[in-house]
A = this chain, B = another copy of it.
Amino acid sequence: MDLRRAGAQDKAHVLAEALPYIREFQAATVVIKYGGHAMDKPELADLFAQDVVLMRLVGMNPVVVHGGGPQITDLMARLGKQAEFVDGLRVTDAETVDIVRMALVGKVNREVVASLNRHGSYAVGLSGEDAGLIAATQRDERLGFVGDVDHIDPAILERLIREELIPVVATIGMGATGQAYNVNADTVAGAIAAALGAEKLVYLTDVAGVYANFPDENSLVSRIDADGLERLVADGCASEGMIPKLRSCIHALRHGVGRAHILDGRVPHALLLEFFTREGIGTMVGSDA
């Protein structure tokens, strides 16, 4: 048997190894909060697109949710818009929410969709305003158009999933009168996972996972449950940026989602590694940990 064949055999072996995982995840709905380096770095973005399309092709139902802080900041700067603050929180006036929408729906969402569709015409971009997906309410009058999730109507997502498409959601919510709100993407991801009764909720982040004692690098947790996460938050052991993700995980797990994963989005093919090989990465959160 020649060398070329030997390499081919290795490949065949890897594919066969994925079999039990593919079987286990048939028809599983997976909500993926996308962001950080995995989204910003073009080479990682393309690997992400491959992973998500592959998940779709082997019978999973991926749903991508994204925000886009840096892109908003960048567009505001280019438009010479000054940020205002109230009690240290950024005020989102009418002009700002317009800019947020252009950045998220008109730029980030489009780039994610285009990136996925280079591997097959499966992705459909959505704003939370479409078909009543994200109903939002104002958080605090002084902050302007910053919204909280009032409720999720998952019908449009369920329709697209049934048609074997990949929904990509930009997290703009809509108020009762049609007003747009900027809503936190970490929170939306958990709320959508709960509304869909998703099997899995995944956060792609720029850290290796959850630390039991942030920022101690030796305290990386590979497995924890919702109660454990709650203690971490209560005890002040979680980093600032991680807190909305953790709260959203807890919410989702307490509302029917099977499992949550905090993955390191800087690792190439992080999703494939987690779902289709023995080598899981990051932190897995279950109700049964």
User: Residues of A at under 8 Å CB distance from B?
Assistant: 4-5, 7-20, 22-23, 26, 47, 50-51, 53-54, 57-59, 75, 78-79, 98, 101-107, 109-110, 113-115, 117-127, 129-132, 153, 156, 159, 163, 165, 172, 174, 177-180, 267-269, 272-273, 276-277, 279
Q: Do B113 and A129 touch across chains, with their CB atoms under 8 A apart? A: yes
Give the residue among A126, A127, A131 with the most B Cβ atoms within 10 A: A131
Q: A156: which of B47, B98, B124 is its contact (CB, 8 Å)?
A: B124
Give the residue among A10, A58, A102, A273 with the most B Cβ atoms within 10 A: A102
Docked Cα-Cα span, A155 to B54, in Å, equals: 21
**Residue on B with the closest CB to A276?**
B15
Chain B: minimal CB distance from A97 (Å):
10
In the complex, 18 of the A-B residue pairs with CB atoms within 8 angstroms, ordered by the A residue number, are A5-B267, A8-B277, A11-B17, A11-B272, A16-B272, A22-B58, A23-B53, A79-B79, A102-B106, A106-B107, A110-B127, A110-B172, A110-B180, A121-B153, A124-B131, A125-B126, A156-B165, A159-B159
Q: Do B121 and A19 touch across chains, with their CB atoms under 8 A apart? A: no
Chain B: minimal CB distance from A140 (Å):
22
Q: Do B131 and A122 touch across chains, with their CB atoms under 8 A apart? A: yes
* CB-defined contacts of A156 to chain B, threshold 8 Å: 124, 165
Q: A104: which of B10, B106, B180 is its contact (CB, 8 Å)?
A: B106
* CB-defined contacts of A119 to chain B, threshold 8 Å: 19-20, 23
**Stoichiometry (number of copies):** 6
With A54-B19, A102-B107 in contact, do A279 and B129 touch (Cβ < 8 Å)?
A: no
* CB-defined contacts of A132 to chain B, threshold 8 Å: 117, 121
* CB-defined contacts of A18 to chain B, threshold 8 Å: 15, 54
**Residue on B with the closest CB to A113?**
B129
With A107-B98, A124-B156 in contact, do A22 and B279 touch (Cβ < 8 Å)?
A: no
* CB-defined contacts of A177 to chain B, threshold 8 Å: 118
**Residue on B with the closest CB to A13?**
B269
In the A-B complex, the 5 residue pairs with the smallest Cβ-Cβ separation, listed nearest first, are A106-B106, A121-B132, A12-B269, A102-B106, A118-B178
Q: Do B277 and A12 touch across chains, with their CB atoms under 8 A apart? A: yes
Q: Do A16 and B105 touch across chains, with their CB atoms under 8 A apart? A: no
Q: A106: which of B17, B105, B115, B126 is its contact (CB, 8 Å)?
A: B105
